[in-house]
Structure 1
Amino acid sequence: MTEQPFLSVTGLTKHFKPAAFSRGPVVRAIEDVSFEVPRGKVVGLVGESGSGKTTIGRSVLRLVEPTAGTVLVDGVDMTKLSARELRQQRSRMQYIFQDPFASLSPRMTIGQILMEGLEIQGVEPRETRVARAKAALAAVELPADAFDRYAHEFSGGQRQRIGIARALALEPELIVADEPVSALDVSIQAQIINLLRDLQLRLGLTMLFISHDLAVVEYICDTVIVLYLGRIMEIAPAETLYANPRHPYTRALLSAIPEPIPGRTSQRQVLVGDIPSPANPPSGCVFRTRCPLAIEACAGAVPGLETVGTEHRSACIRNAEIAAGAIS
């Protein structure tokens, strides 16, 4: 019997309507997105800015309200919960933000920040909240005296550790990590990624990892979802995707990764033009306006995800030609 995925997203759609009395267009941030995250695994969402990665992460936790679709967390449909029921589920799901400093109150000590969520969730007595907050700080390798200090007293990497500790204090089962290292120096990025991977394995966390950095995603993720203009282009196990990408967009993204091995080179595939506006997406395949393999038929219909290998799916009408080697 196949185990039920811990997170199951089906037909997730988010449209941002213009403000009241405004004549602006509807922004189609994400459109008909479906995927699953097995319990204890890490699934990465990658793509350029404007691809819908953050909107998916926030819609999953209902930090923004989806326009359509279902989000099942351990069998519970998040989109159907009342405000009270949603609050009860919050301790099971936590969000790690991109900017650690902006997400930490400058007026509260780190201990107060970490205990705030515990208090909201009704964790009593105070001694228990203190103990869990201090345990979370220890888990992210921060000194005990961090509990009584303020956010401005820490470096960027330490602040992100505090953000991770805040998520861990509630002992969640699902974490959405939204570009958790993009604001950090490269040397610090490696430390934080190693910490996240260690915590995920040790605690058995299920994680949705959002990033534009495919090198980071390759290291930490079990499965990778490639997004473009709010739609899924390709899904595959990380090892498969990096070894044999099928979608033209994925190939272009991977070709842009700096090659660290001397003497080994890859042909760079440069995408022409900018990503279109989600307020006015192209007809048919949304990637067709920049795709080197686009043909007239690409404008006619939105391609669905087709199976192109074991647990590997790609949304391109030319999948068969790519697989046969007729085009590359």
Structure 2
Amino acid sequence: MSAPLLEVRDLAKQYTTRGSTLTILQNISFDIGKGEVVGLVGESGSGKTTIGRSVLRLIEPSAGSVRFDGTELTELSASQMRRARPRMQYIFQDPFASLSPRMTIGEILTEGLKIQGTGNSKERLDRARKALEQVDLPADAVNRYAHEFSGGQRQRIGIARALTLQPEFIVADEPVSALDVSIQAQVINLLRDLQQRLGLTMLFISHDLAVVEYICDRVIVLYLGRVMEIAPSAELYADPHHPYTRALLSAIPSPDPDAHRNRQILKGDIPSPANPPSGCVFRTRCPKAISRCAEVVPELRETAPGRFKACIRDDLNGSVS
């Protein structure tokens, strides 16, 4: 991995409601190297979006460290954070809800530039037109409104909005999940091309493991606010080490109807963060759980070069296979 652009250590997020505390994230640690695409996967309710928004301080983390290119973001004032934001941008999941219906596309794309005080109105509009061309939309789209575009085109506009500020780092939060399957591949290929052409660093959030395999260099597997496994993409898909990762990968549909796969069906739903299991949070659904899993929270440990796993069976020198 190249030198880290983003370093996250012991990130936590809690909410207090009606006198009870909801722990959404706990002890989240990972790095993303410059020019790297890291996938963040897990079931709904695992905390993926909370991580994406916390690292950019769109919501404030409760604890932990987030260093971007050596700068501790959690210590920046509001004005300092505003000046740092052009270097890091967010692509939202819903391409329609994230675009104001009352603003032209030109106004949407230049809003961030205006807030940052970048250039005059003509220069800002020129940069907006260039961003539209980068996402394969006509420059004259600046004069139209979001409702005039299809879902795939609106997501391209969302991508263009992120590009206008010429960022180095992008959080892409399930950027194709709201799109038709036929359009998803086009948008994913566009993101991959932009990432390579512009040298972007990216945290790619998705529940679609096939998409993650295609676009990501490394993968972080999340369950109920904790990291279960981190590995290079090719290694993780070829040889998953954590029982949860194995279950997720076994559920990927195969294009070959004659292919035989050892399906590992997880029983029940992901627990509520209001009442998480003791010890390992995955133990209530884990086919390899032992009694001590209820007593000890497994640490995320490096089990091989570049591979990390949180499993009590390692602590006992046992195999999860």
* SS at structure 2 position matched to 1:321: coil
**Aligned equivalent of 1:260:** 255
**Aligned equivalent of 2:208:** 213
**Match status 1:321 vs 2:318:** yes
**Match status 1:297 vs 2:292:** yes
**Aligned equivalent of 2:135:** 140
**Aligned equivalent of 2:7:** 8
How many angstroms apart in 2 are the aligned matches of 1:126 and 1:285? 54
**Aligned equivalent of 2:48:** 53
**Aligned equivalent of 1:233:** 228
Shift of 1:69: 0.3
* SS at structure 1 position matched to 2:271: coil
**Match status 1:285 vs 2:280:** yes
Shift of 1:145: 2.1
**Match status 1:181 vs 2:176:** yes
Amino acid aligned to 2:148: E
**Match status 1:131 vs 2:126:** yes
CA contact (8 A) 2:296 2:312 kept: no
CA contact (8 A) 2:37 2:202 kept: yes
| CA RMSD after TM alignment | 1.1
What are the Cα deviations for residues 90-132 of structure 1, in whole angstroms up to 9, with x where unaligned?
1001000000100000000000100000000111211110111
CA contact (8 A) 1:161 1:192 kept: yes
* SS at structure 2 position matched to 1:64: coil
CA contact (8 A) 1:252 1:270 kept: yes
Shift of 1:263: 3.2
Q: Percent identity?
A: 68
TM norm structure 2: 0.97
Comparing 55-64 and 304-313, the one that deviates more: 304-313
**Match status 1:67 vs 2:62:** yes
In structure 1, stretches of 5+ residues that fail to align are: none
Shift of 1:191: 0.4
Shift of 1:85: 0.1
How many angstroms apart in 1 are the aligned matches of 2:279 and 2:312? 10
Amino acid aligned to 2:29: S
How many angstroms apart in 1 are the aligned matches of 2:122 and 2:71? 32
Amino acid aligned to 1:234: E
How many angstroms apart in 2 are the aligned matches of 1:144 and 1:61? 29
How many angstroms apart in 1 are the aligned matches of 2:129 and 2:192? 21
How many angstroms apart in 2 are the aligned matches of 1:292 and 1:262? 26
**Match status 1:80 vs 2:75:** yes
CA contact (8 A) 2:129 2:140 kept: no
Amino acid aligned to 2:107: Q
How many angstroms apart in 1 are the aligned matches of 2:109 and 2:70? 28
How many angstroms apart in 2 are the aligned matches of 1:157 and 1:223? 26
TM norm structure 1: 0.95
Matched length = 319
* SS at structure 2 position matched to 1:219: helix
Comparing 118-127 and 105-114, the one that deviates more: 118-127
